[in-house]
A and B are shown apart, each in its own frame.
Chain A
Amino acid sequence: MHGFAIDVEVKWVRFPSVASTGTKARWTVLESSTDAANGAVREKYRKTSCQAKGSGVFRKTLSEVGSLKARSNTMKKLVMTAAVLACAASVVTAQTVTSANMVGYAKVTAVGGQLTLVALNFETGGLTVNELFGSLPTGSVINLWDKGANAYVTSNKGRAGFSPNPVVTLGSALWVKAAGTATNQIILSGEVLLSETNTVAVTGLDASGYFYPVETLWGDTDLAVQAPAGSVLNVWNGVGYSTYNKGRAGWSGNPAIGVAQGFWLSVPSSITWKEIRPFDID
């Protein structure tokens, strides 16, 4: 087992090219929060893992977002300055596959008492609210939009964690409201969707997010193109909604949809959202 610790701004990490199908990577994510009242920093390590589906190398240069600290079991320190880095994975000799396997991270800042509309840009393989947001203090509230029921599933954090504890899937959107006044840093992690397209049906009003962990302009998404006239986009700006309508002249604005940022879309008639992967892989 090769071990290291990192303290670097990263967006994605990938398995080393020698990793193979079945390789399981494990790492620990350090989530930090700052108490606004006294500036005290609290840090908490959370273990996570991912099963490799294959190996590959990215062609695209990845931009940097979020602050990620990870450490291995051996705690050998190694500061990485690149945006893309190898993950601590067991290296085994096995068959080489053509598909790549990427693990992504996104940092979400949740200030106590304030609302943040978050979307999950990763495939987590069934992680729940508790597993994703368990580091938030007791009294925190998560409102997950249930796309099927068109209603919120409200989870409150008590001593035993969040209850109820629904699974959060790729493209899900939810409200995070941390208790207290501290600033909480949450690291969302999972596998980056690598399929060339992702298709879902959108009907009526829906809270959603982009399928890929990259910032994109709204107008560049297939969703913006497919949405018929009369559609409305609501993006949370921290204190209220920024509302954009689609009319004869197109959208009334072209906001950037950030990594892990959720949004509301209302469509007057059902559409099929077929988003194309916005990056290349080997």
Chain B
Amino acid sequence: MKKNVVLAMAVMMAVGAQADFYINFFSSFGIYDKDGGAGIIPSIGDTATVQLIYAGVDGVANEFAPGQLDIGALITGDDQLVWSGSFQNTGALFEDYAAGNFAIIAEPFLGNGMIYGRIFNSGSIAVGDNYYIGHVLTAANLNPAGDPPPAADNYDLGLAADGVAAMGTVIPEPATIGLMGIAGLGMFLARKKSRR
């Protein structure tokens, strides 16, 4: 029995060692702001949040609604967050477009391996922020410690293949919208009453 447990653990470890998203996450061209003019983080010191997300079984980058992300559930549908980090505009060339290197990511592999990247125009995502979603890529299942070691898969956010950047907006969560609606209705009724 003990032998079987050891064997099972060894198999699990072996499988785990060969099951990674091994991604060189970067942006060669960078991202425009929502107006398509300046970069997404135009001023020195501006920070962007960058994320790598598993697109789930449906292989689609899910949003709350087209062009909208619910602040209460930034990851929706069957998507799963794989990695999150930040990128700062330090004043180097094209960093205002967030053009540069984000990270070399090694995280447990998920499902069909379909992933996408996205970026927000702030370091702490808030209502009203803009975001950009990149293309969906089917990543290879790699073992970074392989013998010989593989080169990482490359995910280029904002690649020309993504087309012109279409920015979405982070919205309040539906519950908040409901409360705001109720509050608005209450204010309207109170104002109507006071006029009488």
Partner of A230, one of B28, B101, B147: B28
Bound together, the chains give a CA A152 to CA B148 distance in angstroms of: 9
Partner of A243, one of B24, B97, B149, B159: B24
Does B65 have its Cβ within 8 Å of any Cβ on chain A?
Answer: no
Quick check: B149 and A230 within 8 Å, CB to CB? no
Does B154 have its Cβ within 8 Å of any Cβ on chain A?
Answer: yes
Can you list 8 pairs linking A and B with CB atoms under 8 Å apart? A177-B147, A243-B104, A245-B26, A245-B101, A247-B27, A247-B100, A264-B151, A268-B159
Bound together, the chains give a CA A238 to CA B117 distance in angstroms of: 30
- Residues facing A in B66-103 (CB within 8 A) are 92-94, 97, 99-101
Bound together, the chains give a CA A117 to CA B147 distance in angstroms of: 12
List A contacts of B94 (CB < 8 A): 247-249
Quick check: B99 and A248 within 8 Å, CB to CB? yes
Interface size on B, residues (CB 8 A): 23
Does B33 have its Cβ within 8 Å of any Cβ on chain A?
Answer: no
Task: Name A's B-contacting residues (CB within 8 A).
Answer: 115, 117, 143, 152, 175, 177, 205, 229-232, 234, 240-241, 243, 245-249, 252, 264, 266, 268
Majority SS of interface residues in chain A?
Answer: strand
B33 CB, nearest partner CB in chain A, Å: 16
A225 CB, nearest partner CB in chain B, Å: 15
- Known contacts A230-B159, A248-B28, A264-B151, then 20 further A-B pairs from the complex at CB < 8 Å, ordered by chain A residue: A115-B147, A152-B148, A177-B148, A230-B29, A230-B160, A232-B151, A234-B152, A240-B149, A241-B151, A243-B152, A245-B28, A247-B27, A247-B29, A247-B99, A248-B94, A248-B99, A249-B93, A249-B99, A252-B101, A268-B159
Task: Name B's A-contacting residues (CB within 8 A).
Answer: 24, 26-30, 92-94, 97, 99-101, 104, 147-149, 151-152, 154, 156, 159-160
Quick check: A175 and B152 within 8 Å, CB to CB? no
Tell me the nearest residue of chain A to B93, going by C-beta.
A249
Partner of A232, one of B99, B100, B149, B154: B154
List A contacts of B154 (CB < 8 A): 230, 232, 245, 266
Once A248-B94, A248-B99, A252-B100 are accepted as A-B contacts, the answer to whether A266 and B151 lie under 8 Å apart by CB is yes
B50 CB, nearest partner CB in chain A, Å: 14
A93 CB, nearest partner CB in chain B, Å: 51
Quick check: B156 and A268 within 8 Å, CB to CB? yes
Partner of B30, one of A115, A248, A264: A248
Pairs of residues from A and B, 4 with the lowest C-beta to C-beta distance, nearest first = A247-B28, A175-B148, A249-B93, A230-B28
